[in-house]
Amino acid sequence: MSKTTIIQKIEDEQMTKELPDFGPGDTVVVQVKIKEGDRERLQAYEGVVIGRRNRALNSSFTVRKISHGVGVER
């Protein structure tokens, strides 16, 4: 069995969580985990999706919001 086949099999097993369907132009609210010292908390981050990369387990998306007149991307 090749290395690529093994990696694909592991990714397929781990991709069990259903994610909502969204794309660029949609407004979303994302819960971001903030670590402060030894504490962790969730902070809501709301903005417009400006990009999305679909790469199986390595997928990501970029959200842009305006905070105090300045554009912030995360």
In tens, the pLDDT along 15-70 reads 777 778 899 999 999 999 999 999 999 999 999 999 988 877 778 899 999 989 99
Domain boundaries, the chain: 22-73
- Using an 8 Å Cβ cutoff, are 51 and 62 in contact? yes
Confidence of residue 10 (pLDDT cuts 50, 70, 90): confident
- Using an 8 Å Cβ cutoff, are 24 and 47 in contact? no
Neighbours of 65 (CB within 10 A): 14
pLDDT at 16: 72
Of 4, 53, 48, nearest in space to 27 by CA? 48
Predicted TM-score (pTM) of this structure: 0.71
